[in-house]
Homo-oligomer: A and B are copies of this chain.
């Protein structure tokens, strides 16, 4: 395999095919096929996301096709999308009376219905989500899981509240939820408030999650928007307050796409292949019987089968690889697929009443007593999850450089992200963006310290981040 840090693009393309994540041979640009193994990762990742959302959201489903008339209502929103939507213009041999847009995101499909669902303050808050395919007519270079014409797995949440303050609180709750999600995937992230010129069309402001890819570029992996009353005014979404007054709702929306899986693969993978946190690994444990002689073959296989049944019974996702390949070939294959834990069982292990465990994260192999194996596996899972996260965070931190001068920024761009102070003025941002061909991700949501703007020197400027972006 190509070395991830040296030629990330090659490494990424190769692993998608060899680990059977995405097949890129579909005959339309920007559309890809999920292999069953890739789709299994997708299933566990989105099951996790669902389980977090289900705590206080409800899942619903709205149509893919949006009539032009609804789509064109919110001026700022259209401007953001009009050059990148697909149009359905024909049904059978007939021209459609009203052309239909394939949703690029669902505000204009959902909010006419919110108008019907919301009557009184007692109907609020509403918090729904859906997991759907959305479409962008990308003219840029497309890339599997990252820049797509069909985003197959867009989780979009939409909420409505009585007041601005309630919507603000929802933004904070959504940040917390996304932090938990990405932390459980072991994906380090920056949380920034996007500058005005880079916010979601129609939003009051946008909070974004970015992670850092092995080539030093950042990837936006989640966004949260406070829409204020913007869409409510366009779609006339009003409620009656306790005093009988008609008021506009305040709304938020927030989304995560299969970019979370692109990040999962890219952040953790190594030159042997995928590295997956146990929680989302399609195969969590592989059992490899080590057979030297025909004599003890059945004995070893029986022990392997019995462990397989026991682990399956416990709800673990386990594979017994009793194929005719050599153990080395099996190790290679399952390591490539990111299986967190391997159990090796040979005749000597049986004699000594111990089995050998090998972790995907490269810790030395170790032997555990047969009767302790289930506890040991669970311990290993929990430790693996933490080690994967810690390793990713170490790499992440190493690639973020605090810069106080333009020379610092020049050096930093080769490695990753520049942490600067920025006064908030567009001119200062654009100057530094253009000088180094970088993007200002935005102002940190979490860091409260202040300093001098790297361009104009204004004191009391906020922590901000600059990066090359995907």
Contact = CB atoms under 8 A, between A and B. Distances in A.
Given A34-B62, A43-B59, 9 more contacts: A23-B113, A23-B117, A25-B116, A33-B60, A33-B61, A36-B58, A36-B59, A39-B59, A89-B90
A23 B116 contact: yes
A315 interface: no
Report, as a range, how many residues of chain A touch the other chain: 35 or more
Nearest to A70: B27
A335 B415 CA distance: 62
A87 B91 CA distance: 6
Contacts of A229: none
A33 B92 contact: no
Contacts of A86: 88, 90-91, 100
A402 interface: no
A62 B24 CA distance: 11
Given A28-B100, A65-B150, A150-B65, A60 B87 contact: no
A112 interface: yes
Interface stretch (A77-85, A195-203, A419-427): A77-85
Interface of A: 23, 25-28, 31-36, 39-40, 42-43, 58-65, 67, 69-70, 82-94, 98, 100, 102, 109, 112-113, 116-117, 128, 133, 137, 139, 149-150, 152
B116 A64 contact: no
- Tell me if A's interface is mostly helix, strand, loop or mixed: mixed
A328 B116 CA distance: 28
A25 B84 CA distance: 27
Given A40-B59, A64-B133, A33 B113 contact: yes
Contacts of A43: 59
Contacts of A133: 64, 133
B92 A89 contact: no
B85 A88 contact: no
A67 B27 CA distance: 8
B65 A28 contact: yes
Nearest to A63: B31
A88 B102 contact: yes
Contacts of A85: 91-92
A98 B112 CA distance: 33
Contact of A61 (B39, B58, B117, B137): B39
Contacts of A58: 36, 39-40
A89 B87 contact: yes
